[in-house]
Amino acid sequence: MAKLILIRHGQSLWNAENKFTGWVDVPLGEQGRAEATIASCKLKDYRVRVCFTSMLFRAIETAIVILTEVNDICDGRIPIIKHQADDENWHGWDKYKGDREQELPVYLTARLDERYYGELQGLNKAETAVKFGQEQVHLWRRSYAVAPPGGESLADTVKRTVPFFCDRILPHLITGDNVLVAAHGNSLRAIIKHLENLSQEEIVNVELGTAIPIIYDIDAHGQIANKVILN
């Protein structure tokens, strides 16, 4: 039975400063890198065959630390980041010789990016609550369908994340590949809502800690057989 490993990135430098980050490409801090290393140790008994991550560096960095700190996770394969060939900045990174079976592909996609926080990006969350009112900011952050000014709601994130999961990630699981998905609180909540068939009211109460692996056993029909959280 295939394993689906979902993990939110480790603490970023803006997480540490309590800022809205969204699509701003902020790297991990020292604590975030340590969290990713600890996650790698927790996953030492698992074998990953393919990895998906967002286009944001904090998620990519988390994935690479997990895959390389404990060698057994890759089962002897070398992680190779797969750039998109239709990107205008693509320089033929995927044109090389070698045995692809000795590689572990790491696919980057904007579909797994954090939800876009619009005009709130870069602002301190506590200061924003003082300015706009705690109830309004809570609505922007925790409601399902209400978006912050100029940004995305969780419902918007579901619309771009779940189709990608169904089209690109689920087929690997159905054929038996263990998959690591390193992404963000909201893009992962979108996947979890779909997997666990959660209501809008249920998913807004789901909290994901940084670099805490969530592991699903997925059967050949794409259904959950078991769930484990490696706190």
CA dist., res. 10 & res. 33, Å (int): 6
Please say if 9 is a catalytic residue: yes
- Of 17, 30, 101, 114, which one is the catalytic site residue? 114
Cβ–Cβ under 8 Å, residues 140 and 172: no
**How many domains is the chain partitioned into structurally?**
1
Per DSSP, 165 falls in state I
Percent of the chain whose predicted confidence (pLDDT) is above 70:
99
Please say if 30 is a catalytic residue: no
- Is 50 exposed, middle or buried (CB count within 10 Å of its CB: 0-12, 13-18, 19+)? buried
Model confidence over 27-72: pLDDT tens digits? 999 999 999 999 999 999 999 999 999 999 999 999 999 999 998 9
Stated pTM of the model: 0.95
Q: Give CA separation, 99 vs 36, 116, 209, in Å.
A: 29, 38, 37
Query: In the structure, how many helices (H) and strands (E) does the chain have?
Result: 9, 7
User: Domain limits at 173?
Assistant: 2-229
Beta strands 78-82; 103-108: pairing state: parallel
Model confidence over 116-157: pLDDT tens digits? 999 999 999 999 999 999 999 999 999 999 999 999 999 999
CA dist., res. 147 & res. 226, Å (int): 33
Which CATH number characterizes residue 133's domain?
3.40.50.1240
Model confidence over 63-105: pLDDT tens digits? 999 999 998 999 999 999 998 777 777 778 888 888 989 999 9
Q: Which residues contact 145 (CB under 8 A, 6 or more apart)?
A: 153, 154, 155, 200
